Structure 1
Amino acid sequence: MDVAEDDRLMTAAKLGDLDGIAVLFEKYHQPLLGFFRRLSGQAQLSEDLAQETFWRILRYRKSYDPRRSFRAWMYQIARNVMNDHGRKTTRAGRIFDDRSSEEAELRARSASDVSGEVERSDRAELLRTALSQLPLEKREVIVLCRFEELPQAEIARMLGCSVGALKVRLFRALKDLKDVFVELGGEPAL
């Protein structure tokens, strides 16, 4: 399914044909889980936030603008869901648990792997830890640009800035990520 098909399905959903939402859910459920996992580090929370995102897509389908891509609109909703969750949970304490069950499983598996695999998984774990220590705004820019690979113009529109400002934000976020990575013991060649 291509971008035009996504937009067609969402436009049909906006007009009342809800079958397309199920197709879009199937296509984008895993990418949304990945987006939220990279931001939160928690599998169950990621599932909950992805479900909330699709609930809002259904609820606010009439506000969809067919001149914008569905994917960009979906990630804007996902950002809002993440920010809403952050506001709710910040009052109660820390949002992100650096020692998620996924990371614990990775550490347990790594103990029995060969040294090269251990080194790669340790580096990946260190990178996830470094990413989790950045402020949400910086994590978000890195995840949208490097992992979700959205076009910079769409990301800039989501963040309410110019493409030039987005590039500056990404540069600064990557520099901060590198600094945290090195502080945690990673090699500086990030």
Structure 2
Amino acid sequence: MSDALGIPAGAIRAVWVFAIDLPEGELDAFRQESHTEGGDVLWPLRDALGVTRLDHGQVEVFDIATIRDYGLARYLTEANGMDAASVAPDAARLDALTGAVALVFSAALPEDVARLDPRPPLRLIGRYAERLDFTPRTAPASATARSGQALPADPPEPKRPSDGAMMGRVALGALLVLFALVALMIWIAG
């Protein structure tokens, strides 16, 4: 990790883990945005990260005790798809954390931001990236190739409509004829 606060270029998915050094009673006010009477948006978490915009759906703030048995390192790799090799050097440190943490995913950040500038109460623990897989994949030539079955010698015969479908068609035809007769009678009488 050359610059843990730098935003990786391209489509690399990353997550920054921050410890939040706040008393438990102040955590809700820190993680939620509020609006002033003038319409301004106040969001202490966004401001502490040093950015102007932040996508709520790409930020997680929680007390580490809620996943203590699972472990934060495992949560990052298994539940969020981060590369185990990038998490492994900090695994013991991540699992030893206490209190509240913020996980800020790269998708939460505006595209024009090149670097995070966190301020207290945030304390950077680390940045972890998704594993890049450059293994070439080739698509099968056809559906037959995917299924592994040979093509049948003769195409199957089309199915005959069911008796119920035929009765429905006959009934529809009879109703149309009756409608035409009634319309003709009304026209002649009128």
Q: Same fold (TM over 0.5)?
A: no
Normalising by structure 1, what TM-score?
0.24
After TM superposition, the score normalised by the length of structure 2 is 0.24
Q: Say which structure is richer in strand.
A: 2
Higher relative contact order (CA 8 A, sep 6+): 2
Of Structure 1 and Structure 2, the greater helix share is in: 1
